[in-house]
A and B are shown apart, each in its own frame.
Chain A
Amino acid sequence: MKLELSRLVQGGGRLGVLKGLGRTKQLSLEVPGCLLYTHLGTVPHLTQDTLQTLSNLPSVTQVSLSNIAEHQEVLEEFKDGFRKFAGLHDTLLYCSLHDPAAPFPTGHITNKTVSVWGSGGRIELNVAKFMALQKVVQPDWYQSMADGETWQNNTSLKRVRKSVDRTLAHLDECLLLHQNSQELEGVEVFGVVEGGDVLEERVRSARETAKRPVAGFCLDSLRAGSIDPALRTQLITAVTKELPEDKPRLLQGVGRPDEVLACVEAGVDLFESFFPFQVTERGCALCFSFDISPDPESAVLQLDDEERDAAEKTQLNGDLNPDDQTQMTSFEINLNDKRYQDDFRPLVEGCGCYCCKNHQRAYLHHLLVTNELLAGVLLMIHNTAHYHGFFGALREAMASDKVDLLKRRVLRERDEQTERKEQDG
């Protein structure tokens, strides 16, 4: 794997391409970018037919051990790795420890083990079992075993230190087993940077991890809702300074467009695309604008005034409870709302996705109120398309010095709301 940076944007942000990916070394992934979020190798709600209606999908598919661990025996018998088991073909496989959209309880980590939660409950993994899983999954990249329990508020300094130490110890053990395993030849390991909200520990974790033969870095325990976004940006900036230029940095658990923009500036390259799934699950459609075309008139305005008011209200509610990942954000519209009952427009005017080309808001509203499965399918198609479109626009903006314009577009709704709130107050 080779990261070729084509541009370092002023004020932060790395534009480039990860090249030579996969066992054939033929695939590549543009950064900043995101992985394809899946449940057991399937993009939620989507069969391959519907997924393939989307163009420009990322070349890396994410699966998590929390989904896979319970199928270890099956994969052992299957022998040909998870990719083939899941009917996937031309994609790279990245295996993470947890599912970023499925919160898990704390208090189950020991010095030697971590736990994942699957459909049948908790599964405890020590390094040996963790590596045995990697051998049967046969991913292209995997996240090293890590103690990522420090995302909670008020974690003690002692606990934070422990998580950094344990995670480094896990990494060393993983690497040792990895190097002695033929099955994992050519597979890349991502080291995990921990350290909670303690700057010195973050820096220590980054420095120590960077000394190991890892291909990239996962920035863990910074997930949305668990930490003040400004502090997170600060910590990431400090961490990325310690990391080698030529290796990718993957930020776990962050997906909101505004947070993505801030974290890219702080030096992050890769994200997990669980955000469109969360939006889909609440019956919402992403609608924020990321159009940076020179003609502002052609920039589609998605929200009318009424919608903006609604978004503002949800934003207010959301701010009251930032920990709640199920809360609607200002980047989406809620199709459950009665106002869409007779709205015959596509979700987003000008969107080229299968849903927007074929269906109208009124139909989506109907599918949601009647609890029909197709609602999830169509929303997932659109939200996935919109989210990946946003990353495409971000790279384009970085390549053409238009990041400020993009930020204004993406953050517009939020800023206008803040202004209005201030005026009202």
Chain B
Amino acid sequence: MAATVERVVAAEASEKQMSAKKVLSAASPLTLRIVAECSVTKARACELILPHSAVSTPVFMPVGTQGTMKGITVDQLDDLGCRICLGNTYHLGMRPGPDLIEKANGLHGFMNWERNLLTDSGGFQMVSLVELSEVTEGGVKFKSPYDGKEILLSPEKSIAIQNSLGSDIMMQLDDVVSSTVTGPRVEEAMHRSIRWLDRCIAANKNPDKQNLFAIIQGGLNVDLRKACLDEMTQRDVPGFAIGGLSGGEEKDDFWRMVTLSTDHLPREKPRYLMGVGYAVDLVVCVALGCDMFDCVYPTRTARFGSALVPWGSLQVKHRQYAKDFQPIDPDCQCPTCKRHSRAYLHALFKSDSAAMHHITIHNIAYQLNLMGSVRQSIVEGRFPDFIRTFMKRLFPSPDQYPGWAVDALASVNVTLE
């Protein structure tokens, strides 16, 4: 368990604050130890201590939607250095269902994963996957794709399912609006998300074992974001997610909302930027002060033979690699690159699904190693240099740097030559 001295101290300190705010909550099973802060940007390197193990941040969390990571075993995932991954509440709530997972000692037991798990609220999937969903004050109403029954996912229900899953970090149910929507609906969703946060906090049966994160909403509207931040940071939640982004909005709007959020989030709590996982986005958003990230992209794209490399991506199935006897990335130390060539993987794609598993392993290794290098550079006080080198490697020339990234980095005092 994560009962560190820091945690006790932190708990005592927050208890005093809490009584002032009249918020009742037990000490959370989470400790954030800030190891280093970048003197130029808002980046930080932390040790996030969670019930199942410590997590070094900034961290990328691979997504294992149905309680499994795309054909790789939990031992392989562990060997890659993964200490936290995601499960999806919507999918797992449908199949095999919370009762069964509870019987299997939670999702950890069911999938036999001894490290940390983060689960989403299920709301986002519902709104994006199920056409006929409807949001009311009670929750998200939708028809089950399996038996056609009408189901209401209320904040209480979402937390009940996540309590059954036993994840180390649970997400509040939020009222998700597409980031491209404007007008009163955005404001309604923001206020509702705050009310739902309170209902989620009250519904959490395991505050001593499971952390509940709030999700900052407010669309792309500065005032709404700020209002949401003001309200939510008054709640004693162990961590915050920045939500409602990476849904097709302009990147210029995206990074401004991210940096606005981190400006107002408490220093001593982790910040999780939801749904972000492209390499540039990761590096820039670390500079803007985010600690945790997740994205299905690295594992999903592996299925199609797309391998992530420091210079972008490599399409293993393309003919040009048929006689290329180098590893995917000669500098990569993952099990795939240590053993197999591009040519063999190219050929194997025609014969066996193990080819996909090889790329999945490499891509997860790439994401985790990228974050590891980012972290190390923060600790060693050379993060700005790291960013410059990283960008140079990723783009053939500086005029191809995305404008938003240049602006975002400039906002935290990093100029790219």
A residues touching B (Cβ–Cβ < 8 Å)?
A: 39-40, 42-50, 53, 67, 70-71, 73-74, 77-78, 85-87, 118-120, 341-342, 344, 354, 358-360, 362-363, 365-367, 369-370, 372-374, 376-378
Contact present for A42 and B351 (CB under 8 Å): yes
Residues in B whose Cβ lies below 8 Å from that of A77: 323
Contact present for A119 and B96 (CB under 8 Å): no
Q: Does any Cβ of A come within 8 Å of B144's Cβ?
A: no
A-B CB contact pairs (8 Å), 11 listed: A39-B351, A40-B352, A42-B354, A44-B352, A49-B76, A87-B344, A358-B112, A367-B66, A373-B68, A374-B68, A376-B353
Number of chain B residues close to chain A: CB under 8 A: 43
Contact present for B343 and A85 (CB under 8 Å): yes
Contact present for B111 and A45 (CB under 8 Å): no
Given contacts A360-B104, A362-B104, contact A354 B339 (CB under 8 A): no
Contact present for A377 and B73 (CB under 8 Å): yes
Q: Does any Cβ of A come within 8 Å of B70's Cβ?
A: yes
Closest CB of chain A to B190's CB: distance in Å? Answer: 34
Alpha-carbon separation in the docked complex, A46 to B76 (Å): 12
Q: Which of A39, A53, A78 contacts B352 (CB 8 A)?
A: A39
Alpha-carbon separation in the docked complex, A354 to B110 (Å): 15
Chain B 330-369 interface residues, beta-carbon cutoff 8 Å to A: 335-336, 339-341, 343-344, 347-348, 350-358, 361
Contact present for B66 and A45 (CB under 8 Å): no
Contact present for B343 and A370 (CB under 8 Å): no
Contact present for B351 and A370 (CB under 8 Å): no
Contact present for A45 and B343 (CB under 8 Å): no
Residues in B whose Cβ lies below 8 Å from that of A363: 67, 104, 110-112
Contact present for B100 and A374 (CB under 8 Å): no
Contact present for B66 and A370 (CB under 8 Å): yes
Alpha-carbon separation in the docked complex, A331 to B232 (Å): 58
Alpha-carbon separation in the docked complex, A373 to B339 (Å): 22
Contact present for B111 and A71 (CB under 8 Å): no
When C-beta atoms are compared, the residue in chain A nearest to B66 turns out to be A370
Residues in B whose Cβ lies below 8 Å from that of A71: 347
Contact present for A49 and B104 (CB under 8 Å): no
Contact present for A45 and B73 (CB under 8 Å): no
Contact present for A48 and B348 (CB under 8 Å): no
Closest A-B pairs by Cβ, 5 of them: A373-B71, A119-B350, A39-B352, A40-B351, A87-B339
Q: Does any Cβ of A come within 8 Å of B268's Cβ?
A: no
Alpha-carbon separation in the docked complex, A358 to B339 (Å): 26
Closest CB of chain A to B129's CB: distance in Å? Answer: 14
Q: Which of B71, B104, B322 contacts A74 (CB 8 A)?
A: B322
Residues in B whose Cβ lies below 8 Å from that of A40: 347-348, 350-352
When C-beta atoms are compared, the residue in chain A nearest to B361 turns out to be A47
Closest CB of chain A to B362's CB: distance in Å? Answer: 11
When C-beta atoms are compared, the residue in chain B nearest to A99 turns out to be B351
Residues in B whose Cβ lies below 8 Å from that of A47: 72, 76, 335-336, 354, 357-358, 361
Residues in B whose Cβ lies below 8 Å from that of A374: 68-73
Alpha-carbon separation in the docked complex, A85 to B342 (Å): 10
Residues in B whose Cβ lies below 8 Å from that of A48: 335, 339
Q: Does any Cβ of A come within 8 Å of B75's Cβ?
A: yes
Given contacts A67-B351, A74-B323, A119-B350, contact A377 B357 (CB under 8 A): yes
Contact present for B71 and A377 (CB under 8 Å): yes
Contact present for A85 and B357 (CB under 8 Å): no
Contact present for B354 and A86 (CB under 8 Å): no
Given contacts A45-B357, A87-B339, contact A70 B72 (CB under 8 A): no
Residues in B whose Cβ lies below 8 Å from that of A120: 350
Alpha-carbon separation in the docked complex, A191 to B323 (Å): 33
Contact present for A373 and B356 (CB under 8 Å): yes
Given contacts A77-B323, A342-B100, A354-B73, contact A70 B350 (CB under 8 A): yes
Given contacts A74-B347, A342-B100, A372-B68, contact A362 B110 (CB under 8 A): yes
Q: Does any Cβ of A come within 8 Å of B385's Cβ?
A: no
Alpha-carbon separation in the docked complex, A48 to B76 (Å): 11
Alpha-carbon separation in the docked complex, A39 to B76 (Å): 22
Closest CB of chain B to A408's CB: distance in Å? Answer: 35
Alpha-carbon separation in the docked complex, A412 to B74 (Å): 36
Alpha-carbon separation in the docked complex, A372 to B356 (Å): 13
Closest CB of chain B to A63's CB: distance in Å? Answer: 10
Residues in A whose Cβ lies below 8 Å from that of B355: 42
Alpha-carbon separation in the docked complex, A44 to B355 (Å): 10
Residues in A whose Cβ lies below 8 Å from that of B96: 341, 362, 365-366
Residues in A whose Cβ lies below 8 Å from that of B100: 341-342, 362
Contact present for A78 and B343 (CB under 8 Å): yes
Closest CB of chain B to A241's CB: distance in Å? Answer: 38
Known: A47-B335, A70-B350. 8 other contacts (CB 8 A): A47-B361, A85-B343, A363-B111, A370-B66, A372-B70, A373-B353, A373-B357, A377-B73
